[in-house]
Structure 1
Amino acid sequence: MWNPFKKKSTGDDDVKSPKMGMMQAMAMKKMAKMSPQERQKMMQEAMKPGNRDKIMGVMSAMKASGQVTDEQIAQAKKMLGM
């Protein structure tokens, strides 16, 4: 049935903007507003050895469950400098 209040969709919205939760959206906005120095400091904090091990563990769990492929993991590692 036709709904006059329904938002118009182009059909490729899923490709352009992935669905994010409220907290992820807030984090993305905060990152965008940060100065480059603050962003660099935050990345140094996130890439400490303990945190790096956690990230690698999550990536391997996602690979085992089939959520990501080897190519996606390689790309993420490249982006994170691992």
Structure 2
Amino acid sequence: MWNPFKKTGQSDDDQADDAKINSPKMNMLQRLAMKKMEKMSPNEKAKMAQEFFKPENKDKLMSVLEMMRKTGQVSEEQYNLAKQKMGE
């Protein structure tokens, strides 16, 4: 049956980078965060990464990573690779 509310999608090759970022797979806050990260200078990005990967934030990072694995946002292979890089 024809659905008048169904979004007509374009192939990935035809979509602009901005359209890929604004895909319905990300919620509003994730899209805002992605845009903010894109506008940051490389120095700001490096500073944020250093802050994020501090040892005292490791527990938070691991819990988020575990949740992403359970919900299917990352594969088991990606999860194991991230754990290896963090030294777990």
Q: Which of 52, 59, 66 is matched with 1:60 structurally? A: 66
Q: Please report how far the alpha carbon of residue 2 of structure 1 lies from its aligned counterpart in structure 2 after TM superposition.
A: 5.9
Q: Please report how far the alpha carbon of residue 9 of structure 1 lies from its aligned counterpart in structure 2 after TM superposition.
A: 2.3
Distance 1:18 1:52, change over 3 A: farther
> Is the counterpart of residue 8 in structure 1 residue 8 in structure 2?
yes
Distance 1:10 1:61, change over 3 A: closer
Q: Which of 46, 69, 73 is matched with 1:40 structurally? A: 46
* Unpaired stretches in structure 1, ≥5 consecutive residues: none
Q: TM-score, normalising length from structure 2?
A: 0.61
Partner of 1:30: 36
The 4+ residue runs of structure 1 with deviation greater than 3 A are 60-63, 65-69
Q: TM-score, normalising length from structure 1?
A: 0.64
Q: Please report how far the alpha carbon of residue 38 of structure 1 lies from its aligned counterpart in structure 2 after TM superposition.
A: 0.4
Distance in 1 between residues matched to 2:79 and 2:34, nearest whole Å: 21
